[in-house]
Amino acid sequence: MESIISQSYEVHFGELAKAALKQHIAKSGYSKVFVLVDENTKKYCLPFFKKEIMAHPIDSVFEIASGEENKNISTCTKVWEMLSNFDGDRKSLLINLGGGVLTDLGGFVASTFKRGIDFINIPTTLLSIVDASVGGKTGVDLGVLKNQIGVINQPVMVLVFTEFLKTLEPRQRVSGYAEMLKHGLISDMEYWNQLKETSSFTEPDSIQKSIAIKNKVVLQDPTEKGLRKILNFGHTLGHAIESYCLENPEKKTLLHGEAIAVGMILEGYLSHELKGLSKLSLDEIKTTFLQYFEAVHFSDDDVDAILKLLKFDKKNTHGDVNFVLLQSIGEAVSDIKVPEELFQKAFAYYRE
Ligand code: NAD
């Protein structure tokens, strides 16, 4: 499969990825090569990585605990300490082998250790392959508040091996599908139509298409001054819902993709009310997501608490919450203010 070129790095697939890694390490003169894993990628991905992908010796493998609840500064401290204890210096390389939690955290740790060392992302979940590992957003949560601490800093390369998806739990695969559907909704109606009908979303062609859509947006606006914001469709309410479920033990924890699937239905409703998204398209969005993602129950108290969390959204300016909405399927607009009364209506539409 053809590589995808981003501003300072490339996304390579399969055999090409293997060759690119070998060539890059051979020419870079790294003092140390470290690999970051969690307990699952250590078990399911590290053996394949060592046997089939990595030709160069590894100095140390660092393990962190998996899960969004560990995407925080105290896990970063542990990795910074491991880097330091194992003689990491500015010419060290960190290879992030894992899902979006690990690539976000590992990217941030590498970007800040000794003011920045090289890192390579080798994403192992569908979500991290099609979205999280590409685009250079790195960071961690602050308490339950999503991605509040971080920097935008690009990896040296992103290497995609779809073999890793074989051991991924079905629920995790579907979570990644949400971000792929988002790519269609914000920029490509044809892709949305094709993807919403198929259960073969882990096909290499779909994966490549999703990465290409994200990359095209990021290339035009790497630091999210304007266009890049459209990648946040569904994420304003989605992140608030994800945080709310994380901090409430009585609520079922939602995976990132599950939370933004709800967010996309709600923000689809706001798009219909404010930006002319047709009722037909809105219903199509809702039906599609509810076909793949179990409906979540929200009480009135839940909704009130979720809406309070909106004030922490990273896109807010001057105290205003800024939304990305759809004018039609395939066409998104950003920086839209939403009158408060519409939020309750959006949840009412979701519950219908
Ligand atoms: P995750 O990283 O938590 O991985 C999901 C689970 O699968 C974990 O338990 C992990 O250990 C396990 N796992 C990983 N690879 C496996 C494999 N091959 N086989 C078996 N198990 C495996 O979750 P995720 O969905 O990959 O990522 C979600 C995170 O990504 C969120 O924190 C979200 O905020 C972030 N994100 C970042 C961006 C970005 O642009 N940086 C974009 C979207 C999402």
Instruction: Tell me: do 179 and 320 sit in the same domain.
Output: yes
pLDDT of residue 311: 85
pLDDT for 317 equals: 79
Mutate to test the pocket of ligand 1, among 6, 37, 40 (most ligand atoms within 8 A of CB): 40
If pLDDT is split at 50, 70 and 90, which confidence band does 175 have? very high
Asked if 244 and 116 sit in the same domain, the reply is no
pLDDT the model gives residue 321: 86
247/319 same-domain check? yes
| Residue closest by Cα to atom 35 of ligand 1 | 100
Structural domain boundaries enclosing 119 = 4-167
In CATH, what number is assigned to the domain containing residue 159? 3.40.50.1970
Considering the domain architecture, whether residues 117 and 196 belong to the same structural domain is answered as no
* CA distances, 187 to each of 184, 190, 220, 286 (Å): 6, 9, 14, 18
Q: What is the pLDDT of residue 218?
A: 96
Alpha carbon of residue 171 to chain centroid: 16
Among 142, 167, 192, the domain boundary falls at 167
255-271 pLDDT tens trace: 999 999 999 999 999 99
Q: Are residues 181 and 328 in the same domain?
A: yes
- Is residue 73 domain-shared with residue 156, that is, in the same domain? yes
CA of 108 to the centre of ligand 1 (A): 15
Cβ 235 under 6 angstroms from ligand 1: no
State the closest ligand 1 atom to the C-alpha of 175, by its place in the atom list counted from 1: 25
Claim to verify: residue 208 and residue 156 sit in the same structural domain: no
User: Which residues are within 8 A (CB) of 346 and not within 5 positions of it... i.e. 6 or more apart?
Assistant: 237, 266, 267, 269, 270
Q: What is the pLDDT of residue 249?
A: 87
* Buried b / exposed e along 263-278 (16+ C-beta atoms within 10 A): bbbbbbbbbbbbbebe
167, 190, 224: which is the final residue of a domain?
167
Question: Count of domains in the chain?
Answer: 2
Last residue of a domain, one of 112, 133, 167: 167
Arithmetic mean of pLDDT, 168-184? 97
| Gap from CA of 164 to ligand 1 centroid (Å) | 12
User: Distance (Å, rounded) from C-alpha 30 to C-alpha 37?
Assistant: 20
133 CA to centre of ligand 1 in angstroms: 10
Q: Are residues 36 and 175 in the same domain?
A: no
Measured from the Cα of 141, ligand 1's closest atom is 32
Are 177 and 288 within one domain?
A: yes
pLDDT above 80 for 316: no
In terms of domains, do 255 and 176 share one?
A: yes
How many Cα atoms sit within 13 Å of 160 on the Cβ side?
28
Ligand 1 site, residue 124, Cβ cutoff 6 A: yes
What's this model's pTM, rounded to 2 decimal places?
0.96
Same domain (yes/no): 174, 26: no
158 and 198 in a common domain:
no
pLDDT band at 313; cut points 50, 70, 90: confident
What angle separates helix 256-275 from helix 235-247, to the nearest 10 degrees? 140
Model confidence pLDDT, tens digit, residues 24-73: 999 999 999 999 999 999 999 999 999 999 999 999 999 999 999 999 99
Q: What is the CATH number of the domain that holds 283?
A: 1.20.1090.10
pLDDT, the chain, mean: 96
From 41, 46, 108, 125, the mutation candidate for ligand 1 (largest count of ligand atoms within 8 A of CB) is: 125
